[in-house]
Structure 1
Amino acid sequence: MGPSDGAGKAAGAQGKITDVAGVRVGHQQKSDGGWLSGVTVVLPPAGTVGSVDVRGGGPGTHETDALDPTTLVHTVDSVVLTGGSAYGLVTAHGVQRWCEEQSRGFAVMGGVVPIVPAAAIFDLGRGGDFGARPDAAMGYAAAAAAGAQTEGHDVGRGNVGAGTGAVIGRGKYKGGVGTASVTLEIGVVVGALAIVNALGLPFGFEPAQTGTEPNQVPASLNTTLVVVATNAVLDVAECKRTASAAHAGLARALNPSHTLADGDTVFCLATGAQELDRSTEAARQISLITLQSAAADVVRLAILDGISSARAVTTPAGEFGAYPGNVR
């Protein structure tokens, strides 16, 4: 059973990815002087297992190959979500430097190599300056901000961090950062954080109402990035499968999604604090199906939260309207 049919309860409007114990989030952004971009860092507790599923046909990613279940390292030290398209992936270097200073990483030859995967949205030029994009210093600052947070802290939503320059609906409306969580009766917590920068709009809102023709906006606008976190004990293959299942939430929230030009990417992090029922093979399957169903639900809620939290922004390049109404 999933959370919608009695196996759990939604955490409600205050639900957030930091309801998963040990998870912190840090944002850095600039929205003046030609800027409209930023970076968001998700910092899990040490020993967190992670994987990723990239479904978009136009991804901008860094170190995602290291999260394949067949590779050597199965833990993740941080996940970076950034603006600046491929240029913004350099923010991961700053986060890696911060992690090294904290001795977070894969131990080797008397030192550590932090495992810091990253993914980017396209927001180049939205503040008026094509060259105004996040760099390694901004990544370092976002990691430090995450590291300074307290347990269970609130998470900035809307036009912050990597969501600062995000748009939806072929550039007509603002997108942004959203987050949500669900707690299952078995004690498993599943949270998600989304950066919504999508070509499409939520189901139920007619694209024709945007007043923008499809060929007026370049295809590179289309990316939604998600981090799913859970306190469950999962191995890296189960994290991979959970990330895959969580993409269903993206498809339920936005139309269209996963197109050739999208960079849609979902990371999954498992902190390993809560055992699943693995007493029999049937129990193991039911536990995983329940968790993965919850992941899809919470991703949908996080995406809608990001859209609802966005505000209207006027830039040198034009005006992005706030999304009308509550889309929950």
Structure 2
Amino acid sequence: MGAITDVPGIRVGQVQEVGGGWLTGVTVVLPPPGTVGSVDVQGGGPATHETDALDPTTLVSTVDAVVLTGGSAYGLASAAGAQRWCEENGRGFAVPGGVVPIVPAAAIFDLGRGGDFSARPTPDMGYAAAAAAGRQVEGHGVDRGNVGAGTGAVIGRTYKGGVGTASATLPGGVVVGALAVVNALGLPFEPARQAAAPEGGPLLNTTLVVVATNAVLDPAECKRTAAAAHAGLARALNPSHTLADGDTVFCLATGAVALDRSTGTARQISLVALQSAAADVVHAAILDGIACAEPVRTPAGDYGAFGTT
């Protein structure tokens, strides 16, 4: 199925805490310097940080790291650690006296699944995940399942979710990859409606995705690619994009391979092919995250201690 790291220059670092009340973690996607980025949020309950900075109309078009984290809104503190690592390594928007790293983040809800509601990702965990990404070699393998931000992930409020990844290569050398953290209300099969029954307890869910490509895209094209990639999420999970989901897709374009823009029609065809592939790899990454999760079933609606064996 490939991995998001099949896109040259993309690295992934992951850390997690399990046991002693903990069941959560952080995943950092580290692109090469100069990578253009944007985001599209279609869930009704997102927990995000710095996503406004990725609007195509804003000043800065590049992204230094993307943080995916557990801990709901509390876990967004982990982005500060990743930002600190980027600053120490000279990654960021140049300003007088230094740099300001652009580090957007998004979180899933996993609070209390290890038994301790206060056990949530910290800035130090974000720093460690970014440092782990920085140590990786080109084209490295990506751990899947209950690791990083997917450590405490659940789908359908009953089964384990997790981290998944996939990639595809298009004619002309364009590579499109995706990494997903699947913590969804929906399921990839018919019982999704049963999982959404009111007696199951509160609806607290999110699927987070990073799509990466080596194509040259401007911020508006990244935004449109992130939006198109949501189609893969909807294909994989039923239901998706609900009021209680924080479904969010980031898009990163490293700019190494030019698309055919010789005519207006050629540009459209190139972008449609890339965006269609983005939806496909998101679909595959979500199913991969579910398939690689630990095969554990919990009582429906149980948001208490969530075992890992």
2:174 to 188, 194, 207: 188
Q: 1:318 to 1:113 in 2, by over 3 A?
A: closer
Paired residue for 2:191? 206
Give per-residue Cα distances to partners, 1:139-173, cap 9 Å, x unaligned.
Answer: 0000000000000000010000000000001x210
Q: Which amino acid aligns with 1:182?
A: A
Helix, strand or coil: the match of 1:36? strand
Residues 162 and 195 in structure 1, CA contact (< 8 A), matched pair in contact too:
yes
Q: 1:317 to 1:168 in 2, by over 3 A?
A: same
Paired residue for 1:135? 122
Runs of 4 or more above 2 Å deviation: 204-210, 212-215, 312-322
Paired residue for 1:311? 294
Please say if 1:281 is aligned against 2:264: yes
Residues 158 and 297 in structure 2, CA contact (< 8 A), matched pair in contact too:
no
Residues 61 and 119 in structure 1, CA contact (< 8 A), matched pair in contact too:
yes
Q: Which amino acid aligns with 1:86?
A: A
Helix, strand or coil: the match of 1:129? coil
Query: Post-superposition shift, 1:318?
Result: 5.0
Partner Cα distance (2:89, 2:288) in 1:
32
Paired residue for 1:94? 81
Please say if 1:260 is aligned against 2:247: no
List aligned pairs for 1:75-224, cutoff 5 A. 75-169=62-156, 171-202=157-188, 204-207=189-192, 213-220=197-204, 222-224=205-207
CA RMSD of aligned residues (A): 1.7
Helix, strand or coil: the match of 1:249? helix
Query: Post-superposition shift, 1:214?
Result: 3.5
**Structure 2 length normalisation: TM-score?**
0.95
**Structure 1 length normalisation: TM-score?**
0.90
Residues 67 and 79 in structure 2, CA contact (< 8 A), matched pair in contact too:
yes
Q: Which amino acid aligns with 2:212?
A: A
- Identity over aligned residues, as a percent? 77
Query: Post-superposition shift, 1:219?
Result: 1.3
**Unaligned stretches of 5+ residues in structure 2:** none
Residues 82 and 127 in structure 2, CA contact (< 8 A), matched pair in contact too:
yes
Partner Cα distance (1:181, 1:224) in 2:
18
1:272 to 244, 247, 255: 255
Residues 313 and 319 in structure 1, CA contact (< 8 A), matched pair in contact too:
no
Query: Post-superposition shift, 1:186?
Result: 2.0
Q: 1:240 to 1:208 in 2, by over 3 A?
A: closer
Residues 81 and 123 in structure 2, CA contact (< 8 A), matched pair in contact too:
yes
Partner Cα distance (1:304, 1:124) in 2:
23
Query: Post-superposition shift, 1:312?
Result: 3.4
Paired residue for 2:41? 54
Paired residue for 1:67? 54
**Unaligned stretches of 5+ residues in structure 1:** 1-12, 323-328
